[in-house]
Amino acid sequence: MSGATLMAAPGPARRAKVAAIPGFGLTFGITLAWLGTIVVIPLAALALRPWELGLFGLIDSLSDARVLASLRLSFGAALLAALVDLPLGLALAWAVVRMNWPGRRLLDALVDMPFALPTAVAGIALTALFAPNGWVGAPLAQLFGWSVAFTPAGVAVALMFVGLPFIVRTVEPVMRDLAKDAEEAAATLGATRSQTLRRVVLPALAPALLTGFGLAFARAVGEYGSVIFIAGNMPMVSEIAPLLIVIRLEQFDFAGAAAVGLAMLSLSFGILLLLNLAQRRLRRSRR
């Protein structure tokens, strides 16, 4: 922001303003070039490629029942996973920030594991765990008759796994900043613990929670590696959209693959835009 005003200010005023980071023009240029090479051009290619099919071909390619089912699964499972991750991530962040127990540091490190682990490894591990004869899958199947692996539920579980750290890590610094005295002030004013949580703590965390939700969701929509092992990949049932793209690519249907990609891109963009707008509303009144 200060950079923009710096550029705009003519004459002597320009010299009067001192920015901490020098060379605005140069860095701005590099940034734009970089952004263009790795973001804009590939995205533009993705946006242009499907039109080779023509408008009707594109519609036709996308209205395939298998494509629709996979999009529904990808976005539905991602949304569900992000929603489940929300309270889970909040609790984890709380444990890392506020609790004072010996295993805190270990937990802190463990939270980041999904970032570091190759997603295929995570997928195989989750599959082994949730398979009908796995450590978690077997009891679930016996007690409730639920099967997780090789069903849409398995997709959601894998997406929860990859999305969780995003929520923990976005909420954590805000929670750390959350002055304890605001909670104490609420107590001296007569608020019960649940009133304090509902009216003081959660509203303060809301923007961070929303950001974390958006990140977890975005990551989950694009997730491929961990999902394909646990999903079973049955067309119409447990086949995610990114897998369908790979399948079309393998069949040399490049335009068709790009069409699914374009659909995912537009949907994700729309949803993230909405989340951003919601966040702006939340933040508008705050620091």
Partner 1 sequence: MTVEVQGIVRRFGGMAALDGVSLEVAAGEFVALLGPSGSGKTTLLRVLAGLEGSDAGRVRIAGRDMTGVPARERRIGVVFQHYALFRHMTVFDNIAFGLSVRPRRERPTRAETARRVRELLELVQIPDLENRYPHQISGGQRQRVALARALAIEPRLLLLDEPFGALDALVRRDVRRWVRDLHDRLGLATILVTHDQEEAMEMADRIAVMERGRIVQCDTPTALLRDPATAFVAGFVGGATRLTCNVRSGVAHFDPLPLPPVRVSLPDGEAQAFLRPSDILARRGASGAATVRLVREDAHGRPALVVAAGDTLLDATGEFLGRGDACRLTLRSGVVFGAGGARAELAPLQAAVAG
By rule CB under 8 A, what string of x and - marks binding of each residue 184-223 to partner 1? xxxxxxxxx--x---xx--xx-x-----------------
What does 217-244 look like in DSSP terms, one character per residue? HHHHHH--HHHHHHH---TTTT--HHHH
> Residue 109 in contact with residue 94, Cβ under 8 Å?
no
Q: Residue 186 Cβ, how far from partner 1 at the closest point, in Å?
A: 7
CA 26 – CA 131 distance, rounded (Å): 54
> Residue 93 in contact with residue 168, Cβ under 8 Å?
yes
- DSSP state, residue 53: G
CA 258 – CA 273 distance, rounded (Å): 22
Q: Closest CB to partner 1 among 107 and 206?
A: 206
Q: Closest CB to partner 1 among 50 and 207?
A: 207
Residue 37 sits in the site that holds partner 1 (CB under 8 A):
no
> Residue 238 in contact with residue 232, Cβ under 8 Å?
yes
Q: Closest CB to partner 1 among 63 and 285?
A: 285
Q: Residue 214 Cβ, how far from partner 1 at the closest point, in Å?
A: 19
Residue 100 sits in the site that holds partner 1 (CB under 8 A):
no
- DSSP state, residue 197: I
Size of the site for partner 1 (CB under 8 A): 21
**Three-class SS of residue 136?**
coil
Which of 63, 100, 133, 285 binds partner 1 (CB under 8 A)? It is 285
Residues that bind partner 1 (CB under 8 A): 179, 181-182, 184-192, 195, 199-200, 203-204, 206, 285-287
